[in-house]
Structure 1
Amino acid sequence: MTRRPIRALRGGAVALAVAVALTACVSIPTRGPVGEGVVEVNEPAPVTLLGYSPEQDASPMEIVQGFLNANAAGYSRETTADVSTTFSVAREYLSGEVRSTWNPNEQVIVYPTASSPEVTLLTETQVQVKVGVAARIDASGVYEESAPGSLQPLVFDLVKDSGGQWRISRLDNGVVLSEPNFELVFRQATIYFLSADNSHLVPETRWFPVRNLATSLVRALMEGPSPWLRDAVRTAVPDGVQLETGVVLVDADGTAEVSLSGAALGDAEDRARMLAQLEATLDIARVNSVEVLAGGVPLAWEPARLVRGSLPSDAALEVVQDDTLMALGRGELAPVAGVGPLTGLDVTATARNEAGSVRVVLSGGGTLVRAASGGGDEQLLEAAALAPPSVDRLGWVWTASAGPEGPVITAVRAGGAQQVVRADWLAGRTVHEVRVARDGTRVAVLSTDASGFSLDVAGVVRDQEGTPLQLGEPIATGATLTEASRVVWVDESTLGVLGKTAAATATTVYLVPLAGQTRALPALEGIVALAGGKGERALYVTTSEGELYVRSGPGWAFVADGVRAPSFPG
């Protein structure tokens, strides 16, 4: 999508234009001149799902089933923000006070395509619905994947109204949607906050209704990050700022108008950062540019230039071949300049920062060594069974080990500086890997305890000098996985995990979105290590036979053999 910078408004408020694209069937030409194809793809208008009013003399079970069928229509037909009047068709199935007090926005339960709700009549006036759960989405759009086989029982009480018609008198807040309907009326989108040092945009991915998506995103930005990320980031949006008109209007040309009011804005630098947050957050298909007013005055500042996204596409894969650290470039391996031989080091893992100024290797599984030229290697840390290292953008090298009172996550720097990173929620667990995101603000942690495996993502709380102090309370991801051995960042909001599910017979690579469903990649026998660059097509694996493969086409393509310990920056 071609994007234009944020600029001041030139006119008054713009109207929201919704275009519906109609596609006709045409034959495929077999002759004629070559013409230019479609150069820009626009997001289609939201799909309208129909809900139907209750039928006369419907039974309690039919009323409940009709209500469930009408749930999705509330997202596709309504535009009002008043929670007591949205979902007008679904509310026709409710009685008395419940008709106005039921809050459909409190929770969304998404059930798998292959699992229809099971409706049972418990008594003459009570119906139970058992629904499989693929995911739950809370009121702020936070997505939580559910473990396979998860079930949710829902109980509906019914009464007869003055006309002798059954209506629902008691029910839980929230709605129930099938996966296909959910994907039609909801959209995954990202809200961007700031790293503590104001250098990086930090993403938080959530799900919002497609209709009025731009408004939902800006409101979420103003409300701030979710609790798991709150202590690790900041925002340049001042407290008290609101949408002056209550909505973000997007015109037919894709220009979003954001009119702010309610509080004084910060200094010029923070205003530029706020504009950067708004522009990144509104980087959705129907928005090409953003125009901002604050208290009726156009904001003419350019957005701050902040780092956003996953690794750059030119980040090179590095592997160990014999006793040499090698970089992959143009399909060939060549020694990494400035790094001496790794003779005498039993290298099991390597890591570096983006600049390549900090390079470390894990030797024998228990010694962390900074690799340098001329054989001047520096031992940074030694402990039993150290986790594979990860190097953040500030030069801290992260690893984990077992301690007398539980796992110890340690960050070290050249010269001997060490910092134990507090993470109380890991008590009683064994940490197998810690992997820091490119922004240095989030960390993925693989751990196990007596109850099984966990893949968690937490915010990194640092002091003013950037020293990592503790991990915030985490969010759980990868609920369908039963075990895992390695984790990498595939992009800014997706993890790559080497693991298994209950239904799998062999270990393979899975894509695990922080807010979405886990997906298996094609199987490859004997995978033992994983490295992730920019996107799925920059995923590399090595096998127990020392073969290197890259994700390609419908499977994996062979690259080289005789290698181990693949890694990208991070």
Structure 2
Amino acid sequence: MGADREGGVRHRPGRAVAFAACGAVLLAGCASMPDSGDLRDVESTPRQETGVRVFAMPPADDAQPNEIMQGFLEALTSDDPQYDTARKYLTTDAARTWRPEQSATVLANGPSVVRDPQPGGREVTDTSSLTYALTGNRVATVDDQQAYAPADGSYSNKVHLSKDAKSGQWRIDKLPQGVVMGKSDFQRNYTSVNKYYFASTTTVGTTGQPVAVADPVFVRGKVDPMTQVVRSLLAGPTSWLGPVVRSSFPTGTALQKGVPGLAPDDQNRLTVPLNDKASRAGSVKCTEMATQLLFTLRNLTPTLESVELQGPGGHRLCDLTGERADSAAWHASAQHPEYLYFLDGKHRLVRMPTGSTGTSAVRVPGPLGEGEREMQSVAVSRDEHTVAGVGADGKSLYVSSLAAGGSLGEAVVSSQGATVADRLTTPSWDARGDLWVADRDPRHPKLYVMDQGGGKPVEVAIPELPGRIRDVRVAADGVRVALVVEKDGKQSLLIGRIEREDKSGARPAVVEPRSAAPDLEQVTAMSWAGDSRLVAVGQEQGGVHQMRYVQVDGSALDGPAPAALSGVKAIAASEDERVPLVAYSEDDGIVRLPSGAQWQKVDKDGTAPVYPG
């Protein structure tokens, strides 16, 4: 069920009326369909400009089955809030039981529509009943929680039509739940938005600030997305993230009945009327509730200045400005790193201010800046007070203070891998101050975490890992981790959920790993580059090496990819998306990519660039 169809049938011009002043387009229900025969590979709905809303036409009197199918499929890709027009193509019973919000199936080229023959290949002879098959190649699904997941394989479902004996009108009486559409229609109709919750076990600093965690969902972009996102936020986190996050909204909190829609006033302030469940929250919880709302809605509407939560009768529960929200919870994308770090030509750790436009770097204080031991890779803690480094041979991990007079001490983790490539990965820090590193030794592969970077290394269980870890980057929130996993010579980029204790309570675990870049089969380098975004360097099957941004849920991102760069072996990005992308290239050394510019050389002899994290 969708209008993203293209191919080689003869097309009749459709009837469409554009209202420029209103920003609306009416789609003809009978456009682009042949009068008889198979209904397959029909033209896709044209991509509309931002702000243009698309509305479908109801069925015409005496519309034929092929016109009913076309009109219904077009209606599913319109901006009708409750799919009221689409329901006009259904019988009364089917309209009552159909749940379009239950799921969305995304196909590569939209559904092919073919009249279904009777068993044995005989032609359908019943003049009051017809069945059509919808088929295609799956790309993704969106579930009833609005969570996106990559998918593959074939799709096939049937739609049954019947002719009413009294009225003589054809209508759909049986159809699958949810909707199905092609990739380009999905991209036109839906937009990705981060909801925000708080990590269940992670706090930051002496004040114990909660740590915000992004939970990406897809909403219909031109159908009151603000109200959709608020309802989704109040309903709770998606199933995958749910075990490791919490919401400050009391169970059962919802928008008050009768709220037509949410929109900021002319001062960019938003009032959110909640039911009586929200009144049970104290002042601290109310502030956290408002913080979740602000982080979520500023992700959708960056100009939003403040929110006010109201209970029944217009009673003010609390209000919050964006500035106060940033101090109420730790938010990775709001943290601006002070320095960029990398190893110079003598394998000493050096740094330069993040906003610097020059190429001069200075050695950091402490043993790694003094070159006490040559390093292969480093990671600097989020507060930029501590550094972890892997020795040049890849065998040993050291932790040291970024302060003058410190000592390197003994290795805290060691690997017995036969080669450098089979030893320790680049380490990684989360906002809680825990340090993560993997041992790539094929005989004894392990993932370790060290409490506050100084505790005893604890092995992390990964019961569902489909291969051997080649690289690891923990998210700032401490509840997600990005892993490059290799199997049979191919690498994949996965996101795992971190549960601090497994079911036996014995040790932390990474569970339910899922693909963040399903079309990449070689991954050379990767880094977190936002609350739910990574930058990856890799190669598709049969393709060339490329650099791209990817979402943690595996969905495609709008906007251009970073400019091409050859020979990339390491990449550094920050959750603060204003910070320049930095890379290590075999051809050019350390290079950076300022916004709106081309790659610039920083240090020909430098390697291993990192931002804090």
Q: Specify the TM-score bucket, using the shorter chain as the normaliser.
A: 0.7 to 0.9
1:103 aligns with 2:99: yes
Residue 490 of structure 1: aligned partner: 529
CA contact (8 A) 1:61 1:121 kept: no
Residue 511 of structure 1: how far off its partner (Å): 0.6
**Cα distance change on mapping 1:265 and 1:503 into 2, 3 Å:** farther
Q: Which residue type is aligned with residue 201 of structure 1?
A: A
Deviation, 1:343, is 4.7
Quote the residue 1:500 is aligned against.
539
Q: Aligned partner of 1:366: which letter?
A: K
SS of residue matched to 1:269: helix
Q: 1:52 to 1:566 in 2, by over 3 A?
A: same
Which 5+ residue runs of structure 1 have no aligned equivalent?
1-18, 23-43, 79-85
Q: Which residue of 2 aligns with 1:362?
A: 390
Q: Distance in 2 between matches of 1:499 and 1:216?
A: 35
2:53 to 48, 57, 63: 48
Q: CA deviation at 1:309?
A: 3.5
Q: In 2, Cα distance between the equivalents of 1:474 and 1:166?
A: 47
| Displacement after TM superposition at 1:536 (Å) | 7.2
- Quote the Cα distance in structure 2 between the aligned partners of 1:444 and 1:354: 17
1:268 maps to 2:300: no
Cα offset for 1:208? 1.1
Take 1:411 and 1:195, find their aligned partners in 2: how far apart are those partners?
17
Is 2:256 aligned against 1:256?
no
Q: Which one-letter code corresponds to 1:98 in the other structure?
A: A
> How far off its partner does 1:496 sit?
0.9
Q: Which has the higher contact order (CA 8 A, sep 6+)?
A: 1
Please name the residue that 2:380 is paired with: 352
The alignment partner of 1:249 has SS state of: coil
User: Residue 216 of structure 2 aligns to a residue in which SS?
Assistant: strand
1:136 maps to amino acid: T
Mapped to 2, the partners of 1:522 and 1:536 lie a distance apart of 16
Distance 1:405 1:221 in 2: 44
**1:121-159 CA distances to partner (integer Å, 9 max, x unpaired)?**
222322222234443222221122456xx5423322222
Q: Do residues 63 (structure 1) and 68 (structure 2) align? A: yes
TM-fit CA distance, 1:569: 0.9
Counterpart of 2:602 (choices 540, 559, 566) is 559
Q: Could you tell me how far 1:168 is from its partner in structure 2?
A: 2.3
Q: Note if 1:171 corresponds to 2:175.
A: yes
| Distance apart, 1:381 and its partner CA | 0.1
Encode CA deviations 1:27-80: one digit per residue, 9 max, x unaligned.
xxxxxxxxxxxxxxxxx995321212334554444432221111122xx233xx
Does the aligned pair in 2 maintain the 1:121–1:128 contact within 8 Å? yes
Tell me how far 1:497 sits from its aligned partner.
1.1
Measure the CA separation in 1 of the matches of 2:331 and 2:21: 32
2:431 alignment partner AA: R
Matched, 1:528 2:560: no
Match of 2:144 among 133, 139, 142: 139
Deviation (angstroms), 1:382: 0.4
Q: Residue 425 of structure 1: SS of its match in structure 2?
A: coil
**Secondary structure of 1:328's match?**
strand
SS in 1 for 2:181: strand
- The one of 294, 301, 310 equivalent to 2:333 is 310
State the Cα deviation string for residues 433-490 of structure 1 (Å, max 9, x = none).
Answer: 2211222232212213349543222333337xxx982234344321221221322111
* Residue in 2 that maps onto 1:30: none
Aligned partner of residue 395 in structure 1, secondary structure: coil
Query: Which SS does the other structure have where 2:484 is aligned?
Result: strand
> 1:188-242 deviations in whole A, cap 9, x for unaligned?
2221111233522211121112323222222222221112211221121111222
> 1:159 corresponds to which residue?
162
Q: Does 1:289 align with 2:328?
A: no
1:542 deviates by 0.9
Q: Identify which of 219, 228, 237 aligns with 1:208.
A: 219
5+ residue gaps in structure 2?
Answer: 1-19, 24-48, 118-123, 125-129, 204-208, 418-422
- Deviation string for 1:148-198 (max 9, x for gaps)? xx5423322222222344332322112233445434443322211112335
Q: Following the alignment from structure 2 to structure 1, what is the Cα–Cα distance between the partners of residues 524 and 510? A: 21
| Residues 547 and 564 in structure 2, CA contact (< 8 A), matched pair in contact too | yes
Match of 2:254 among 234, 242, 246: 242
Following superposition, the deviation at residue 320 of structure 1 comes to: 0.7
Letter in 1 for 2:519: T
The 4+ residue runs of structure 1 with deviation greater than 6 A are 19-22, 403-406
Q: Secondary structure at the match of 1:458?
A: strand
Residue equivalent to 1:32: none
Match of 2:585 in 1: 543
Distance 1:291 1:366, change over 3 A: same
Q: Give the match's secondary structure for 1:250.
A: coil
* Match for residue 478 of structure 2 among 437, 440, 463: 440
Which residue in the other structure is 1:376 paired with?
A: 408
Q: 1: CA distance between counterparts of 2:377 and 2:411? A: 15
Q: Does 2:90 align with 1:94?
A: yes
Contact 1:398/1:410, CA 8 A, preserved across alignment: yes
Counterpart AA for 1:88:
D
Instruction: Output the CA distance in 2 between the equivalents of 1:438 and 1:524.
Output: 27
Partner of 1:325: 349
Identity %: 25
In the aligned structure 1, how far is the partner of 2:22 from the partner of 2:597?
Answer: 32
